[in-house]
Amino acid sequence: MAPENTKDLTIRLRKRADGTGKALDVDIRVSGGNLCLFGDADSGRSEVLRCIAGLDKPDEGRIALGDRVLFDSMEESCLPPALRRVGYLAEGAGLFSRLTVSENLRLALSGGGREDGSSPEKHALKEAEDSILRDFGLDGLGGLLPEHLSKSQTVLALFARMLAAKPSLVLLDNPFRDLGGYEKADILEKIREKLTKERIPWIFAGNDRDEIYAMGDLVCVLHEGKSEGTKKRDAFFQSPETLAGAILSGCENLAPVTRLDAFHVTVPDWGQVLCFRRTEGQAQKETEEEKTKEEPDPAKAEEKSGAVKAQEKTAHGEAEKGLVLRRNEGEDIALWRPPGERWKELPKDIAAVGIRAEDFLLKEPEEGSAYLALPVRDRKIREERSTLDLAFLPGAQAKKPLHLRMQKSEMNKNELNSVEKVYISENKILWLRD
């Protein structure tokens, strides 16, 4: 069983690009929970794991597992791989082909992860071997060579061999790439349950959303060798903060933006101008600031930009107040908001916006909610087994379609084909930085 002080993890490292891998600039700190490094093959995820395992050496930084320092450039400390007690299952790893499954296990059990390198007695070794084979559903297969195992059996045997050495930390580098469907889901569940039972923390690296969701408590996006912050798994999938993270999370509708002023951005791909309602916290802060200085006029800022004009008018023929942002060369685009609301200042580093296909609404949101209403033009409907996917242009100026997904249990194809307008709540629009 891994000691309790291994739950805190620090990975702070920089590494120049060389012939063996990508340049790295990573700062990850985890206190409890297991980590997933989410990135494509060129993100640097494998290089980070190799640095943790001791197979590559960073140029500077610190890697610590609880109170055990594996690497610290300031202290000129670098434990060799054999002393780190880190299990590493690399992408494409295999068993020793000329040894049986049992013989592969004995290689790990004979050292047992012991710092003195001593080996258990033969009787204890056999008992441990049989126990591991049973635990991983490999009993009866110990005498087979690797070539006679299925893909799933090979993965389980590799994992069993790694755990036989009693690691304090497990690193998994996209080891399930050759598995699919229920077979993969079953093995993911078994491995997570085993590691949790043994109280061994793990870091999983990959680019498959289902695997990341199954293995991660925490998610850190890696993009071009840089870490982009760590979030809880569900929070990441609901609200990624970067364009790279949104792409990895599966957000179907993404578009670059141009910031017009503090309150407005244009989205050329969708032919839209967007602004967002301030939050309660921002409203309170603005109220306090109003006591000491004159309130800024957002309309003046819009006129100054020369790209949009603002005017109040009745939205949807009702009594509410709306704000119409008119493109000089195009049609009106109406964003409704409750009377008295002001726009909140957008992040200065906003680079793109995103909308998930399942977040569109077909009915107008409740009164008091901020939302964007979009016309449906040039529609195309694709029918899947359980869903309907609608691709449409959200206006005459749009260059690229938006995608909406509905469950067949909620609406049939004819009903979806008659929809003339869709809605998206303001809090479902993702603003993203590079």
Of 98, 101, 75, 13, the closest CA to residue 50 belongs to 13
Element at 103 (helix H, strand E): helix 101-111
Tracing tokens 């309150």 back to the chain, one arrives at 263
> Distance between CA 69 and CA 92 in Å, rounded?
29
Q: Which domains does the chain have, with CATH numbers?
A: 4-241 (3.40.50.300), 254-433 (no CATH)
Beta bridge partners of 404: 390
For residues 281 and 344, is the Cβ–Cβ distance under 8 A? no
pLDDT for residue 299: 52
For residues 65 and 28, is the Cβ–Cβ distance under 8 A? no
pLDDT per residue as tens, the chain (434 positions): 444 444 689 999 999 987 767 899 999 999 878 999 999 999 999 999 999 999 999 999 999 998 999 999 999 999 999 999 999 998 888 999 999 999 999 988 886 444 454 556 777 888 889 899 999 999 999 999 999 999 999 999 999 999 999 999 999 999 998 887 888 999 999 999 999 999 999 999 999 999 999 999 999 999 999 999 999 999 999 999 999 999 999 999 999 999 888 888 999 999 998 876 665 555 555 556 555 555 555 555 444 444 333 333 333 333 233 343 444 344 444 444 445 556 778 888 999 999 999 999 999 887 767 788 999 999 999 999 999 999 999 988 999 999 999 999 999 999 999 999 999 988 899 999 99
For residues 246 and 344, is the Cβ–Cβ distance under 8 A? no
pLDDT for residue 127: 87
Residues with Cβ within 8 Å of residue 384, at least 6 apart in sequence: none
pLDDT for residue 209: 95
Helices and strands in the chain: count of H runs, count of E runs? 12, 25
pLDDT for residue 345: 80
Q: What is the pTM of this model?
A: 0.82
For residues 323 and 373, is the Cβ–Cβ distance under 8 A? no
For residues 303 and 294, is the Cβ–Cβ distance under 8 A? no
> Distance between CA 62 and CA 65 in Å, rounded?
10
pLDDT for residue 82: 92
For residues 166 and 111, is the Cβ–Cβ distance under 8 A? no
How many Cβ atoms from other residues are within 10 Å of residue 201's Cβ?
23
Of 176, 155, 157, 166, the closest CA to residue 84 belongs to 166
For residues 215 and 34, is the Cβ–Cβ distance under 8 A? yes
pLDDT for residue 225: 95
Report residue 427: phi and psi, to 5°. Answer: -75, 0
> Distance between CA 176 and CA 91 in Å, rounded?
8
